Amino acid sequence: MKKVLITIILFTVHIIGFGQGNNYVQNYKKFEGLALTPPMGWNSWNKFACNVDEKLIREIADAMVSTGMKDAGYTYINIDDCWHGERDSLGFIHPDPKRFPSGMKALADYIHSKGLKMGIYSDAGSQTCGGRPGSRGYEFQDAQTYAKWGIDYLKYDWCNTESLKAEGAYKTITAALRKAGRPIVLSICEWGNDKPWEWGASVGHLWRTTGDIYNCFDCINDHVSWKSWGVMQILDKQDRLREYAGPGHWNDPDMLEVGNGKLSEGEDRAHFSMWAMIAAPLIAGNDIRKMDRKTIEVLTNKEVIAVNQDSLGIQGFRHSIKDSVETWYKPLKNGNWAVCYLNRSKSPKPVSINWQQTAVADNFAKRGFLPNQTNYSIRNVWTKKMIGDVKKDLKAVIPGHDVLMLVLAK
Q: What is the pLDDT of residues 287-306, one digit of tens each?
A: 999 999 999 999 999 999 99
- The pTM (predicted TM-score) of the whole model is 0.94
Over residues 97-140, the pLDDT tens digits come to 999 999 999 999 999 999 999 999 999 999 999 999 999 999 99
pLDDT at residue 10 tops 50: no
Q: Is residue 175 helix, strand or coil?
A: helix
Q: Which of 212, 252, 254, 287 is catalytic?
A: 212
Q: Which fold has domain 40-308?
A: TIM Barrel (3.20.20)
Give the architecture (CATH level 2) of 317-409.
Sandwich (2.60)
218 neighbors 230 (Cβ within 8 angstroms): yes
Count Cα atoms within 13 angstroms, Cβ side, for 77: 31
Q: Which of 81, 123, 157, 268 is catalytic?
A: 157
Average the pLDDT over 370-382 and give the result.
97
What's the pLDDT at 22? 57
Average the pLDDT over 32-36 and give the result.
98
What's the pLDDT at 25? 87
pLDDT at residue 16 tops 60: no
Burial 145-157 (b: 16+ CB within 10 A, else e): bbbebbbbbbbbb
Average the pLDDT over 8-28 and give the result.
57
Indicate the DSSP class of residue 317: E
Q: For the chain, give the percent of residues with pLDDT over 70.
A: 94
Domain segments of the chain as ranges: 40-308, 317-409
249 neighbors 303 (Cβ within 8 angstroms): no
pLDDT at residue 7 tops 70: no
Within 69-197, residue ranges assigned H as helices are: 69-72, 104-113, 139-149, 166-180
How far apart CA 277 and CA 7 sit, in angstroms, is: 68
Those residues whose C-beta lies under 8 Å from the C-beta of residue 77, and which sit 6 or more positions away, are: 41, 42, 57, 60, 61, 64, 111, 116, 117, 118, 119
Those residues whose C-beta lies under 8 Å from the C-beta of residue 14, and which sit 6 or more positions away, are: none
In degrees and rounded to multiples of 5, residue 112 shows phi and psi of -65, -30
How far apart CA 315 and CA 127 sit, in angstroms, is: 34
How far apart CA 268 and CA 259 sit, in angstroms, is: 7
CA 319 to chain centre: 24
Q: For the chain, give the percent of residues with pLDDT over 90.
A: 93
pLDDT at residue 88 tops 70: yes
C-alpha torsion sign, points 216, 297, 388, 280: positive
204 neighbors 174 (Cβ within 8 angstroms): yes
C-alpha torsion sign, points 32, 255, 279, 63: positive
CA 149 to chain centre: 22
Residue type, 388: G
What's the pLDDT at 24? 74
How far from 265 is each of 63, 107, 175, 370, CA to CA, in Å?
21, 34, 43, 33
Tell me if residue 212 is catalytic.
yes
Average the pLDDT over 368-379 and give the result.
97
What's the pLDDT at 183? 98
Count Cα atoms within 13 angstroms, Cβ side, for 383: 10
What's the pLDDT at 310? 98
Over residues 166-198, the pLDDT tens digits come to 999 999 999 999 999 999 999 999 999 999 999
Over residues 197-239, the pLDDT tens digits come to 999 999 999 999 999 999 999 999 999 988 999 999 999 999 9
pLDDT at residue 6 tops 60: no
How far from 261 is each of 46, 257, 286, 358, CA to CA, in Å?
12, 8, 9, 38
Residue 19 — very low, low, confident or very high, per pLDDT cuts 50/70/90?
Answer: very low
225 neighbors 192 (Cβ within 8 angstroms): no
Those residues whose C-beta lies under 8 Å from the C-beta of residue 150, and which sit 6 or more positions away, are: 105, 108, 109, 112, 118, 182
Average the pLDDT over 362-382 and give the result.
97
What's the pLDDT at 23? 63
To the nearest whole number, what is the mean pLDDT of the chain? 95
CA 334 to chain centre: 25
